[in-house]
Chain A
Amino acid sequence: MIMPRGSDQLLLPANPVFIALSLLAALAFNLLPLGRHPAMPDLLALTIAFWAVHQPRRVGIGLSFTFGLLMDVHQGALLGQHALAYTLLAFFALGLSRRLTWFALPQQALQVLPLFLATHTVSLIVRLAAGALFPGWSLFVAPVIEALLWPVITVLLLAPQRRAPDPDENRPL
């Protein structure tokens, strides 16, 4: 295994149950009835991109498509709008997966920003083509927030893999 230069530690294997739980938690956050804000970050997209980068063999395009369909139904949006956006997001995140982990977290955030920007732009283009009105420039705050959350979510979701491989009494976790 090639160790990325930036990381000081070999990671434990990811637990598939934890991956599934984190994706479901992100979906649940997106389903929370918090009202309608144009700049609301899409945590599900963030989590999908994260796992597509870090576990490209487990989370891929098919899963993203399914989650996208669920979001479409929940929002009452055009069926396929989120599905297309998440599919493209997962594809480009898979492409980034071999390169991205060599960088430090702030640089990673800078590299995933265009990814999220493209995701929102795809949604925008699809809806404009379907005859919707432009909802305002605050729409483009959401990808910036998502990119800023990238270091946070990396620390959170990689924490279980950074535990000690040999826990004992002095080091239970």
Chain B
Amino acid sequence: MPLGTLDRTPPPFFRQGHSALTKLVFCSALALFLMVADTRLPVVSTLRVALATALAPIQRGLLVPVEVISGGSDYLRGLTQALQSENAARSQLAQQAERVALAERLATENGRLRALLELAPSLAVRSQAAEVQYEAADRYSRKLFINRGSTQGLAVGAPVINEAGVLGQVTRLYPLSAEVTLLTDKDAAIPVINARSQQRGAAYGGLAKGSAMELRFVAANADVRVGDLLQTSGVDGVYPAGLAVAKVMQVERQAEGGFARVTLSPAAMADGVRHVLVLEPLSVQLPPRPAPEPDAVVKPSAKGRKAAGAAP
């Protein structure tokens, strides 16, 4: 038998390390600790950020083959399609020019009216374009990862939209990427206003395995019809008002508990989204909340007394 056929280092006889059961118990306990501490301890989120930063170059690299395959098919389909899409874009641009003119006229008019009524000027929203890296393969949630992060000045809680409407909200921030929780995720909620009836409400995700939303706490006799457009109401200090959120898909008035069961289909479907716009959360521009009254009275006096006691 030639040399090199067998493993030349025999297994160690005495020093075998810890037993598999010990390792299992240790690693399982560590995993359980991480699960509990994931959202609570800052140390664990630092670990997550470190691992995400280490993974980022690999993820960027792996985007290339997928893009080459999808881009290659576009390349092969050729000139006619490019011309078609250019024509479509031009006609869309023409339509938008009309809308822009209208919007400008309305904005000046609105400015004059606001001045007339002596209202505070409405908030301007700063935005940043980003590209979707990938949709999280997690089966239990709906999340996207975008290629902008805290280095580019994104903030946690920033709304993310595309041309069709609101997509979701930035929930985790890494140096070079950010995690966007979609509106259809189970834990997502957004305050909305019905564009037709001007009724306010709150829409929640998590219906139909993460592809639909639900308008909760709607009275059984409320004025909601199939096809109604729901927009952001802007009362939450996060989303600017007037962005399209969803359309009413189905209204069941026979539901239990005196509430109607309203199913919504989101305006911006996350499948196949490439480019998104990350807005700055409105709360950054809003004036700070006034401190609650009793605290405001007690604290300065206590401080004053301490300072008075310490001075002499």
Contacts of B1 in A (CB 8 A): 165
Partner of B62, one of A28, A69, A88: A28
Partner of B44, one of A10, A79, A130, A136: A79
Q: In the bound complex, how far is the Cα of B138 from the Cα of A37, in angstroms? A: 9
Q: Decide if A83 touches B172 in the complex (CB within 8 Å).
A: no
Interface string of A79-111 (1 = CB under 8 A from B): 111011001100100110000000000000000
Interface string of B20-58 (1 = CB under 8 A from A): 110110011011111100100000100110011001001
Q: B61's closest neighbor in chain A, by CB?
A: A28
Partner of B5, one of A12, A79, A91: A12
Q: Knowing A57-B11, A76-B141 are in contact, say whether A36-B31 is a contact too (CB < 8 A).
A: no
Q: Decide if B35 touches A126 in the complex (CB within 8 Å).
A: yes
Q: B187's closest neighbor in chain A, by CB?
A: A131
A37 to chain B, nearest CB (A): 8
Q: Is A34 an interface residue (CB 8 A)?
A: yes
Q: Is A6 an interface residue (CB 8 A)?
A: no
Contacts of A143 in B (CB 8 A): none
Mark the stretch among B90-98, B129-137, B212-220, B246-254 that contacts chain A.
B129-137
Q: Decide if B55 touches A73 in the complex (CB within 8 Å).
A: yes
Interface string of A42-74 (1 = CB under 8 A from B): 000000000000000100111011001110011
Partner of B35, one of A76, A78, A95, A166: A78
Q: In the bound complex, how far is the Cα of B33 from the Cα of A44, in angstroms? A: 23
Q: Decide if A75 touches B24 in the complex (CB within 8 Å).
A: no
Q: Decide if B28 touches A135 in the complex (CB within 8 Å).
A: no
Q: Which residues A5-60 have CB closer than 8 A to chain B? A: 10, 12-13, 28, 30-38, 40, 57, 60
Contacts of B298 in A (CB 8 A): none
A145 to chain B, nearest CB (A): 14
Q: Decide if B11 touches A91 in the complex (CB within 8 Å).
A: no
Q: In the bound complex, how far is the Cα of B33 from the Cα of A79, in angstroms? A: 9
Q: Decide if B140 touches A13 in the complex (CB within 8 Å).
A: no
Q: Knowing A28-B58, A76-B145, A87-B31 are in contact, say whether A139-B139 is a contact too (CB < 8 A).
A: yes
B55 to chain A, nearest CB (A): 6
Q: In the bound complex, how far is the Cα of B27 from the Cα of A81, in angstroms? A: 12
Partner of A36, one of B6, B33, B38, B139: B139
Q: Is B2 an interface residue (CB 8 A)?
A: yes
Q: Decide if B209 touches A133 in the complex (CB within 8 Å).
A: yes
Q: Is A152 an interface residue (CB 8 A)?
A: no
Q: Decide if B172 touches A76 in the complex (CB within 8 Å).
A: yes
B interface vs A, CB < 8 Å? 1-2, 4-8, 11, 20-21, 23-24, 27-28, 30-35, 38, 44, 47-48, 51-52, 55, 58-59, 62-63, 65-66, 133-141, 143, 145, 172, 179, 186, 206, 209-210
A interface vs B, CB < 8 Å? 1, 10, 12-13, 28, 30-38, 40, 57, 60-62, 64-65, 68-70, 73-81, 83-84, 87-88, 91, 94-95, 126-127, 130-133, 135-136, 139, 165-166
**What are 14 inter-chain pairs, A to B, with CB distance below 8 A?**
A33-B134, A36-B137, A37-B137, A65-B27, A65-B31, A76-B136, A76-B138, A76-B143, A76-B145, A83-B31, A84-B27, A84-B28, A130-B35, A165-B5
